[in-house]
Amino acid sequence: MPEWYGDSVGDTLSRMAKTLRVGLAQINTTVGDLDGNVRKALEYVERARVLGVDIVSFPELTVTGYPPEDLLLRAQFVKDNVEALQSMVGQCLGITAVIGFVDRGEHARSLIWGPVGATDVSHIPIYNAAAVIHDGRLAHVYHKERLPNYGVFDEARYFEADRHCEVYTVAGVDVGVNICEDIWYPGDPTEAQGKAGARVIVNINGSPYHAGKRKFREEMLAERARDYGVFVCYTNQVGGQDELVFDGGSMVIAPSGEVVARAGMFEEELLVVDLAVEELGARSQGPGERIQHFVLSNIPFLPNKPPIEARIAPEPEGEGEVYGALVLGTRDYLHKSGFERAVLALSGGIDSSIVAAIAVDAIGAENVHGVSMPSRYSSEGSLKDAKELAENLGIEFRIIPIEPAHEAFEEMLAPAFGGTEPGVAEENLQSRIRANVILALSNKFGWIVLTTGNKSELATGYATLAGDMVGGFAVIKDVPKTLVYRLARWRNSQDARPVIPEAVISKPPSAELRPGQLDADSLPPYEVLDPILEQYVEHDRSVQEIVAMGYDYATVARIAQMVDRNEYKRRQAPPGVKITPKAFGRDRRLPMASRYRAW
């Protein structure tokens, strides 16, 4: 074992009561920005050191950003991540730091921790790992044991699991380190580390957001703390990455199950807390083969420091929580993809109104451009509502009528459509003309197009390919229509006067593609539709199970049919923010060509 690992020791004597100052660095990393991620981590290391923190922890895969997906299949990317970690080790002085990265395994250490050359190592297993850096040297590397392979997670595709776990003495306190899924279920490695003497568990995470997950997460961590008699220091990533949002909410939970410190949601923060660790009696389990013990330090680097009062951040609830996730996810997708400005079609309807509000809160009113594209079927009220919304939000607003193009298309297609009755094809011409206009503006000025379709529409196929589905980012792709209305009312409640006109919220929803058209002409009422979609899409319940919950068979079967037949449309939709337990996209992968019928 290399000398920089520290001294492996056997069982230890009972310890006096100690105070361990822990820092949880809840930072926003960017996938692939190795240098930027390391630079940010070092800034937080220095902030923690100045505050006298004994051990500071960072999110899962901090160096690479999370999730790096198939970048992990590139040997050069893994090598570069190792070099980036190496570059920061010597700068973490006067502190212990736990930092997530990708490791190539114990048997490959001579290659990885020596000069990183051009040798082909693509066949070498890789590990989701936590580097334990102590006072400018790499003391040890922990490898994740439990690899999630469900929902949005594909870790078995990339990583090997390990079965070794360690306990580290930091400032005289025994600390166990593990990664995300390792603590989500009872048992090892957390249990083994607790039995081996760990009084504090540092768990680093990249745990994506969905509504309601925060409470479940806190209850789970409290159960682990009580079961194993440990402080749980849960550090979570914050920020948006493609369709995922990481909400932060890092927390420290006492052995009693009580939350003693909590970081805010949807924002970067260094959460610092003093843990009064009680005296430890004899271990019930020695280190043995399963557990190794490393003594890093028996005293703090900075003794006799003044106490720090623990912060318990308030938590947003309900629509406020979801809205915060949508704002963060939109802001980070645009900025991390290199976009500064956005454009969207303003129809005067509820969906485009809430998307415009989210965009303004995400990137600023000066960077959002609204376009009204009235047709012969657009009502005066819709144009008025769109204009009022734009004025309330303070965004640029322009009107580009599409009637000349609409007439031209009808004339062009008249010979081909001759002898047929007007129908959906003619209606969708308007949507596709609008898409061309909005894309032309995007192409000309470099603005990203924000689409405005919601989850209810996407689920049922109530959207036009190469029409209203066209764009670069689908802000409310995972937001059911009924929740769109609640979000609009919540957003209006946050200002002295409403930003979304009341007429937008109160009028019946309509695509205005023909005279007098309403969504209710094509879909069940959203109050009926959305609960059924939740059961069928998010909970994978069968038609029969949903009917048994009290719903009409014909309605449930019709909705299931619409969902199943429109998988091909959803595959062509832009990415959007995930806010439910199961979103369309990486969360839900069904074949487009399938003859299985659930209805």
- Whole-number Cα distances in Å, 424 to 189, 376, 382, 516: 58, 16, 22, 15
Whether the link from the prior residue into 591 is cis, omega within 30° of 0, is: no
Q: State residue 404 phi and psi, 5-degree precision.
A: -60, -45
Amino acid 509: pLDDT? 80
The CATH number corresponding to 319-520+565-571 among 3.30.300.10, 3.60.15.10, 3.30.565.10, 3.40.50.620 equals 3.40.50.620
Q: Which amino acid is residue 489, in one-letter code?
A: R
* Element (DSSP H or E) covering residue 443: helix 424-445
**Among residues 92, 165, 180, 233, which one is catalytic?**
180
**Among residues 18, 40, 79, 144, which one is catalytic?**
144
Residue with tokens 């809430």: 354
Cα distance between residue 211 and residue 218, in whole Å: 14
Cα distance between residue 348 and residue 218, in whole Å: 40
Whether the link from the prior residue into 189 is cis, omega within 30° of 0, is: yes
Mark whether 40 is an active-site residue: no
Mark whether 391 is an active-site residue: no
Q: Which amino acid is residue 175, in one-letter code?
A: V
**Cβ pair 344, 450 in contact under 8 A:** yes
Q: Which amino acid is residue 21, in one-letter code?
A: R
Measured between its terminal Cα atoms, the distance across the chain in Å is 61
Indicate the fold that domain 3-302 takes in CATH: Nitrilase/N-carbamoyl-D-aminoacid amidohydrolase (3.60.110)
Percent helix, strand and coil across the chain, each to the nearest 5: 40, 20, 40
- Whole-number Cα distances in Å, 181 to 110, 143, 187, 189, 476: 29, 12, 11, 10, 28
Examine domains 3-302 and 319-520+565-571 and report if their fold is the same: no
Report the 10 Å Cβ neighbour count for 31. 17
Mark whether 144 is an active-site residue: yes
Cα distance between residue 72 and residue 122, in whole Å: 10
Cα distance between residue 417 and residue 396, in whole Å: 39
Cα distance between residue 76 and residue 336, in whole Å: 22
* Element (DSSP H or E) covering residue 228: helix 213-228
**Among residues 18, 40, 60, 243, which one is catalytic?**
60
Strands in 448-451's sheet, in edge-to-edge order, are 396-399, 368-372, 342-345, 448-451, 473-474
273 - beta bridge partners? 22
Report the 10 Å Cβ neighbour count for 254. 17
Task: Indicate whether this model's pTM tops 0.85.
Answer: yes
Cα distance between residue 63 and residue 32, in whole Å: 8
Q: Tokens at residue 589, please?
A: 């992968």
pLDDT in tens, the chain (599 residues): 333 333 333 333 344 578 999 999 999 999 999 999 999 999 999 999 999 999 999 999 999 999 999 999 999 999 999 999 999 999 999 999 999 999 987 544 433 445 544 445 456 899 999 999 999 999 999 999 999 988 888 899 999 998 888 999 999 999 999 999 999 999 999 999 999 999 999 999 999 999 989 999 999 999 999 999 999 999 999 999 999 999 999 999 999 999 999 999 999 999 999 999 985 554 444 544 568 899 999 999 998 899 999 999 998 889 999 999 999 999 999 999 999 999 999 999 999 999 999 999 999 999 999 999 998 888 888 899 999 999 999 999 999 999 999 999 999 999 999 999 998 898 899 999 999 999 999 999 999 999 999 999 999 999 999 999 999 999 999 999 999 999 999 999 999 899 999 999 998 887 766 676 677 778 899 999 999 999 999 999 999 999 999 999 999 999 999 999 999 999 999 999 999 999 998 888 888 888 888 77
CA 76 to chain centroid? 26
Rounded (5°) CA angle 439-445-446: 75
Cα distance between residue 404 and residue 398, in whole Å: 17
| 269-277 vs 18-26, strand pairing mode | antiparallel
Amino acid 514: pLDDT? 67
Cα distance between residue 182 and residue 321, in whole Å: 26
Q: Which of 133, 135, 139, 203 is nearest to 175 (CA)?
A: 203
Cα distance between residue 238 and residue 324, in whole Å: 12
Domain coordinates of the chain in residue numbers? 3-302, 319-520+565-571
CA 418 to chain centroid? 50
Q: Tokens at residue 34, please?
A: 């190795």
Question: Long-range pairs for 550-555 at CB < 8 Å and ≥24 separation?
Answer: 555/524, 555/528
Question: Residue 579: CB partners within 8 Å, gap ≥ 6?
Answer: 209, 210, 211, 245, 322, 325, 326, 478, 479
- Whole-number Cα distances in Å, 102 to 88, 125, 156, 301: 15, 10, 14, 28
Three-class DSSP labels, 21-39: EEEEEECCCCCCCHHHHHH
H runs (alpha helix) in 337-402: 350-363, 380-393
Amino acid 111: pLDDT? 39
